[in-house]
């Protein structure tokens, strides 16, 4: 079963709007792509298209939030976090406002539009901002959970969503918590920490490894900030070597966050699977995943490399 995280977002946002009158949604002329259109059709009075003006969108979000609204502001990841970085930083994050930046079309699976529209940097950009929390759900069901969870937790959030349909990982989402990674599989040889679309790739990689007699732990690290230090360090201690996997640069994202943690608390080899400091390009989503080596095979390979680096 495959569901696009942006579709789950649109649906969940509409349901949230039914329940909570103070939810207001903004978009920057991409409503049919980000799926905020679902909310917009149901609650036209509470939806404001800001047009192709992302910086103003974030400042307007701040003003609405300062007036008691809980604001969901959407556009593509590169424009939200790139173009409007400083507005998110100075207006939403520094002032600790209820502005939830929910960006879709993150990563290279944007596909044919090409590099200008493919953010490989957004997790890095958002996590380095103080007060900001960063959530990267793996599938449709956990996206729906995340939308509700970030509504209930005060303060600014970055929710990272994608364009294509992706495999469903979660049967049920009870027990999911912001800041708590999920152990999807237990194994003593290597720990694979993934987020977003790389979670299902990681589960496939774990099966491949099992066929070779290697048992992997797989964690869905849906919250990049605040990182689940406890479970990640426990996994590092239990396995002795880690792999991280993300549809993002190997610089500054999940791999960066995990490396920072282990280097200072419990040094183990960390092999980072991700986009190797490159811009994206046009292509079909699956082709691009192969091209940039965001695959189960690559994760399995990385696991073996990480194991070989164990002291």
Partner 1 sequence: MREINQQVIDEIGSKARRLRREVIRMVGTAGSGHPGGALSAADMVACLYFWEMRYDPQRPDWPERDRFVLSKGHAAPLLYAVLAESGFFPQEMLGTLRRLGSPLQGHPDMRKLPGVEASTGSLGQGVGWAVGMALAARLDRRDSRVYVLLGDGELEEGMVWEAVMAASHYRLGNLVALIDNNGLQIDGPLHEVMSVEPIGDKFRAFGWETCEIDGHDIGAILRTLNEARQVKDRPFAIVARTIKGKGCSFMEGQVDWHGKAPTQEELERALLEFDSV
Contact residues: partner 1, CB under 8 A: 24, 45-46, 48, 50-51, 53, 55-56, 58-69, 86-87, 90-91, 94-96
Closer residue to partner 1 in complex, CB, 56/282: 56
- Integer Rg of the chain from CA: 19
Give the C-alpha separation, 166 to 51, whole Å. Answer: 29
Closest CA to 58 of 78, 83, 29: 83
Shortest spacing between CB 85 and partner 1, in angstroms? 11
Q: What is the 3-state secondary structure (H, E, C) of 225-258?
A: ECCCHHHHHHHHHHHCCEEEEEEEECCCCHHHHH
Shortest spacing between CB 87 and partner 1, in angstroms? 6
Shortest spacing between CB 6 and partner 1, in angstroms? 24
15 has catalytic annotation: no
Q: Please, what sign has the CA dihedral across residues 117, 120, 121, 127?
A: positive
What pairs with residue 272 in β-bridges? 244
Catalytic residue among 15, 18, 22, 54: 54
Q: Are 246 and 295 in contact (CB under 8 A)?
A: no
Strand order across the 223-225 sheet: 47-49, 23-27, 70-74, 99-103, 157-160, 133-135, 223-225
Residue 267, classed as helix, strand or coil, is coil
Residue 210: count other Cβ atoms within 10 Å of its Cβ: 15
Residue 152: count other Cβ atoms within 10 Å of its Cβ: 10
Shortest spacing between CB 59 and partner 1, in angstroms? 2
Q: Please, what sign has the CA dihedral across residues 79, 85, 91, 92?
A: positive
Closer residue to partner 1 in complex, CB, 55/304: 55
Structure tokens at 32: 């049919």
Closer residue to partner 1 in complex, CB, 94/304: 94
Shortest spacing between CB 219 and partner 1, in angstroms? 35
Closer residue to partner 1 in complex, CB, 50/307: 50
Shortest spacing between CB 227 and partner 1, in angstroms? 25
Q: Which DSSP string do the residues of 45-78 spell out, in sequence order? A: GGEEE--S-HHHHHHHHHHHHHTT-EEEEE-BHH
Positions marked catalytic: 54
């Amino acid at each position: 079963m495959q569901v696009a995280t942006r579709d789950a977002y649109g649906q969940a946002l509409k349901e949230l709007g039914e329940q909570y009158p103070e939810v207001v949604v903004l978009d920057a002329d991409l409503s049919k792509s980000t799926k905020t259109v679902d909310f917009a059709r149901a609650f036209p009075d509470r939806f404001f298209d800001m047009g192709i003006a992302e910086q103003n969108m974030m400042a307007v979000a701040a003003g609405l939030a300062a007036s008691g609204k809980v604001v969901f502001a959407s556009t593509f990841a590169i424009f939200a976090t790139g173009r409007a970085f400083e507005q998110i930083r100075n207006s939403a994050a520094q002032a600790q406002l209820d502005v939830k930046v929910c960006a879709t079309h993150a990563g290279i699976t944007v596909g044919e539009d090409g590099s200008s529209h493919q953010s490989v940097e957004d997790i890095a950009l958002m996590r380095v901002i103080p007060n900001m929390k960063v959530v990267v759900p793996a599938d449709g069901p956990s996206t729906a959970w995340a939308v509700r969870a970030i509504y209930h937790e005060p303060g600014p959030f970055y929710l990272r969503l994608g364009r294509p349909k992706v495999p469903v990982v979660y049967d049920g989402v009870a027990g999911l918590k912001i800041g708590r990674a999920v152990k999807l599989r237990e194994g003593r040889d290597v720990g694979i920490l993934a987020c977003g679309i790389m979670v299902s790739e990681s589960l496939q990689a774990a099966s491949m490894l099992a066929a070779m007699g290697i048992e992997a732990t797989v964690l869905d690290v849906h919250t990049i900030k605040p990182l689940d230090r406890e479970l990640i360090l426990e996994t590092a201690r239990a396995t002795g070597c880690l792999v991280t996997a993300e549809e993002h640069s190997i610089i500054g994202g999940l791999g960066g966050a995990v490396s920072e943690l282990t280097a200072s608390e419990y040094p183990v080899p960390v092999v980072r699977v991700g986009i190797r400091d490159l811009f994206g390009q046009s292509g079909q989503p699956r082709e691009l995943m192969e091209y940039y080596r965001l695959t189960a095979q690559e994760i399995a390979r990385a696991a073996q490399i990480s194991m070989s680096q164990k002291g």
